[in-house]
């Protein structure tokens, strides 16, 4: 019967998530935080106070969500059992709808719990760079930008364009943009690496298959989260006219800004705004994020060297392949997940890949 299928599929899936979230551990940690806060001298060191308060808010939110989901799970299971015993088909149907919604909430909660890294709750700064191959690769980079734009929009996040370098004929050479939303970095960090496209070239009259590559880098937006000391003497700031499509779109003033951090050689630039000051602010925002990531990479260098996935972001070691011809398939090589609806993926439906990678990382 339909009711039996519902109860058997519902109960295990809505209880296995308990193993991901150890509420006893979370409640103990919350007590420790409250003990520190109650001492009254928390703000003597603001650099420690803010992360602690942020952690308290996050744990409190998770505990409340856990309790709500646990109560809803128990109530739905009980109601379903009663309806089955009484052969109440109408109630069974009603509960089955509730179960479908509850499963989605449990899944979203489980993913949020997995995102427990220090930077996971932060906004994200994303950079896409076309690989070798000229127009083909640049067109692919623009397709990826569109894919992530759609994903960001679907999540209800806010996208802000920071810098874009258009291709000579089509596409983009590179683009940098931010995604502002809860856990944006935690989700998008799974997209770091090389993305490979196979298709019949729309720019080649011979109609041959062409393989293009583009790299995706993601940094946590650390503005207002951590202090990055940047001294003026370590910066070289250049201003220039922003490039454009020509004609009336060409900027007549030197509003674009390029900042070079001399000690590390990191270069960032922004030319999307008409104001030079606004471009400088955005460029500094990206610089802070990249310097923060640079320092974290230095600290974790030894761990990364022994990590099996160290080469995942190396050029030529693609994390995902998108095949348009001779067949249609998107395959994530890290988790062997294949999706046949390429159009849907390129329209921003990449959650199965993101969630699959996060769950695999949790398992390890």
pTM: 0.71
The helix-helix angle for 46-85 and 2-13 (nearest 10°) equals 160
Tens digits of per-residue pLDDT, 187-229? 999 999 999 999 998 887 777 888 999 999 999 887 555 567 7
Tokens of 251: 């900027």
Tens digits of per-residue pLDDT, 106-154? 877 888 888 888 788 889 999 999 988 789 999 999 999 999 999 999 9
Length of the chain: 364
Tens digits of per-residue pLDDT, 320-338? 999 998 899 999 999 999 9
Pick the CATH number of 2-114 from 1.20.58.410, 1.10.3720.10, 3.40.640.10, 3.30.465.10: 1.20.58.410
**Residue 28 or residue 9, greater confidence:** 28
Tens digits of per-residue pLDDT, 225-284? 556 778 889 999 998 887 654 444 445 567 889 999 998 899 999 988 888 888 998 999
User: Where in the chain are the domains?
Assistant: 2-114
Alpha carbon 185 to chain centroid, angstroms: 4
Residues forming beta bridges with residue 219, ordered by sequence position: 125
Alpha carbon distance 240, 253 (integer Å): 8
pLDDT of residue 216: 95
pLDDT of residue 17: 52
Alpha carbon 33 to chain centroid, angstroms: 28
Using DSSP, state whether 359 is helix, strand or coil. Answer: helix
Tokens of 136: 């083909």
Residues 6+ apart with CB under 8 A from 162: 125, 176, 177, 178, 270, 272, 282, 283, 285, 286
């Amino acid at each position: 019967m339909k009711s039996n299928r519902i109860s058997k599929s519902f109960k295990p899936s809505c209880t296995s998530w308990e193993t991901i979230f150890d509420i006893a551990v979370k409640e103990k940690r919350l007590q420790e935080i409250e003990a520190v806060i109650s001492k009254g001298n928390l703000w003597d060191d603001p650099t420690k106070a803010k992360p602690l308060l942020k952690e308290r808010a996050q744990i409190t939110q998770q505990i409340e969500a856990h309790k709500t989901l646990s109560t809803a799970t128990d109530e739905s299971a009980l109601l379903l059992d009663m309806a089955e015993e009484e052969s109440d088909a109408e109630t069974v149907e009603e509960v089955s709808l509730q179960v479908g919604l509850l499963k989605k909430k449990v899944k979203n909660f489980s993913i949020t719990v997995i995102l427990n890294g220090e930077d996971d709750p932060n906004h994200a700064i994303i950079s896409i760079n076309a690989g070798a191959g000229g127009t083909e690769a640049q067109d692919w980079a623009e397709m990826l930008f569109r894919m992530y734009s759609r994903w960001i929009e679907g999540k209800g996040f806010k996208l802000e364009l920071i810098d874009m370098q258009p291709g000579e004929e089509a596409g983009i050479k590179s683009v940098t943009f931010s995604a502002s939303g809860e856990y944006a970095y935690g989700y998008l960090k799974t997209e770091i690496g090389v993305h490979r496209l196979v298709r019949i070239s729309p720019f080649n009259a011979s109609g041959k298959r062409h393989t293009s590559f583009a790299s995706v880098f993601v940094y946590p937006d650390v503005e207002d989260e951590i202090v990055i000391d940047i001294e003026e003497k370590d910066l070289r700031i250049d201003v220039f006219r922003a490039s454009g499509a020509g004609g009336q779109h060409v900027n007549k003033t030197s509003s674009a800004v390029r900042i070079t951090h001399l000690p590390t050689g990191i270069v960032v630039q922004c030319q999307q705004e008409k104001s030079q000051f606004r471009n400088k602010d955005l460029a500094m925002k990206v610089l802070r994020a990249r310097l923060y990531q640079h320092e974290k990479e230095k600290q974790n260098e030894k761990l990364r060297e022994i990590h099996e996935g160290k080469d995942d972001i190396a050029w030529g070691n693609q994390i995902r392949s998108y095949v348009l011809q001779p067949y249609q398939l998107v395959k994530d090589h890290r988790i062997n997940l294949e999706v046949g609806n390429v159009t849907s993926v390129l329209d921003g439906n990449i959650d199965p890949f993101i969630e699959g990678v996060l769950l695999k990382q949790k398992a390890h």
